[in-house]
Structures are given as C-alpha cells and as structure tokens.
C-alpha cells in the first residue's frame, strides 16, 4: 500500500517535471555597466526565472556587461559600429547575430543606441526595453535630471515593447519611487536601480509565462487588453 502511494507520488512528480515549459531563450543587448543583465542572469541561475540567456550583444567593446557575461560563460559579442557603413548596416548585422541564437525575446538592458526601424521591425512584439522614467514622461536621455528639474514628486522606470519610436512602444509595467528633498540625479539613479532590476525580471517572467503579448499594437495580459501599465512593487511583485 505504502509503496503504491510512493510510486504514485513519483508518477505525479514526473508529470510535474514533464509539464514544466522549456526555458524562454533570450538574447540581451547592453551598452555599459550591465547591472540589469546581471539581475536577469542571477534570476536565471537561481531558478527564479524560467529563461535561458543565450548571448549578450554589445555595441561597445569595453562595456563592463561583456566582462560579466564572460565570467558567467555566456557568449559575449561586441560589434563596433565604426566597422559598418551606416546605422542600418550596423543594426542589420546586430540583429543577424542575435538571430543566430534563436531568441524568443530580445531584452534591451541599458542599450543606448537608437535602432533602425527596418532592422528592428521583425522583432516587434519580441523585444522589450527598460527605460529609467515613468513613460510616457521623459523619453530619451537625462531622465533623472529632467524629473528633478520638473519638481516631480515621483520618479521611476518602465518596461515597454520596443517600437520604431524612441522609448515610445506600449508600456508593460512600471515601478515608482519617491523623489527625496535634495536628491541629485546620481542619488536618484542609484536608488532606482534595484527597483529597475526587479521590474525587468518581473516583466520578463510575465513574457516567459506567456501572460503578456503585443497584439494590434497594444499590450494584452492573460488575453485581455492592458488598460494601464502594471505596477511592480518594491519586491518585484505586481502591485
């Protein structure tokens, strides 16, 4: 009797193992420090995210992100834009390299180049970006200083599907922090960063679970239109 119940437990466990979906193959693009890349890597390695980071692509050969990838045995590829005739040629090469790793999702994690619309268009719906502002506020650069200059009470970061418009694609989720009296742009950026890491991991998890998709140019969650961006709390949960 006891052995029958043990073997039926084994059978149940086997079914659970069998039914676990394959990890989502991902390629990450980064330009610099790579802390968001590292956050994804940590979550993957700790089994908190069902993803497989297949490569890191960089547009700067000295980016620290490359060192982080090499240290983790992730293929680390630097492409120098000066070796290409123009932006479209560089971007075509970049996406061709990414495609070699057959990602289901490309994650722009601190990738600081504007993308050529023709090169990126095949990836619409399969590419997300993290941007350090509460989009649609402050697309582009110097977001922390712009929030301070505007006397905003709150600041934050957004993850959105990438479209041809700079930082303009449909927003999936955001995370917010209060701006402190006397904050500098550097202090604000540093305080926001760990929230960014949790936001990015939570957003990738939603994509990996098939819960969010881009349909008709808008975000859907669990098959329904997303009325407003999801709020991710300080622990990385949907608020």
Query: Looking at 24, 26, 130, 219, which residue binds ligand GAR (CB under 6 A)?
Result: 130
Distance CA(218)–CA(227), nearest Å, equals: 10
Active-site residue 224, yes or no?
no
Residues 104-123 that bind ligand GAR (CB under 6 A): 109-110, 112
Residue 126 in contact with ligand GAR, rule: CB under 6 A: no
Pairing of strands 171-178, 218-221: unpaired
Cα separation values, 183 from 149, 151, 152, 154, 198, Å: 11, 11, 11, 12, 22
Percent of the chain that is helix, strand, coil (3-state, to 5):
40, 25, 40
156 binds ligand GAR (CB under 6 A): no
x/- string (CB under 6 A) for ligand GAR, residues 56-95? ----------------------------------------
Strand partners for 175 = 157
171-178 vs 230-231, strand pairing mode: parallel
32 sits near ligand GAR (criterion: CB under 6 A): yes
Closest CA to 218 of 157, 161, 159, 135: 161
Instruction: Return the SS3 of 198.
Output: helix
Instruction: Give me the catalytic one of 131, 144, 155, 160.
Output: 131
* Residue closer to ligand GAR, measured from CB, 110 or 229: 110
Q: Which of 157, 163, 175, 203 binds ligand GAR (CB under 6 A)?
A: 157
Q: Applying CB under 6 A, does 132 fall inside the site for ligand GAR? A: yes
Binding site for ligand GAR (CB under 6 A): 30, 32-36, 109-110, 112, 130-132, 157, 196
Catalytic residues: 131
């Amino acid at each position: 009797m006891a052995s029958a119940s043990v073997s039926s437990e084994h059978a149940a466990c086997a079914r659970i193992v069998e039914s676990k979906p394959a990890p989502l193959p991902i390629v990450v693009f980064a330009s610099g420090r790579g802390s968001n890349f590292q956050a994804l890597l940590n979550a993957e390695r700790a089994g908190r995210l069902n993803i497989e980071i297949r490569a890191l692509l960089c547009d700067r050969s000295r980016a620290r992100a490359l060192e982080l990838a090499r240290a983790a045995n992730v293929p680390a590829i630097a492409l120098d834009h000066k070796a290409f005739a123009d932006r479209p040629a560089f971007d075509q090469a970049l996406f061709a390299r990414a495609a070699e790793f057959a990602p289901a999702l490309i994650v722009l994690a601190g990738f600081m180049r504007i993308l050529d619309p023709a090169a990126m268009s095949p990836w619409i719906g399969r590419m997300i970006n993290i941007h350090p502002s509460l989009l649609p506020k402050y697309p582009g650069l110097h977001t922390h200083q712009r929030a301070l200059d505007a006397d905003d009470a709150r600041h934050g970061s957004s993850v959105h599907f990438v479209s041809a418009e700079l930082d303009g694609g449909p927003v999936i989720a955001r995370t917010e922090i209060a701006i402190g009296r006397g904050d500098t742009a550097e202090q604000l950026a540093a305080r926001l960063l760990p929230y960014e890491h949790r936001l990015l991991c939570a957003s990738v998890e939603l994509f990996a679970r098939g819960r969010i998709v881009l349909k008709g140019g808008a975000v859907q969650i669990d098959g329904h239109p997303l009325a407003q961006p999801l709020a991710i709390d300080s622990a990385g949960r949907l608020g």
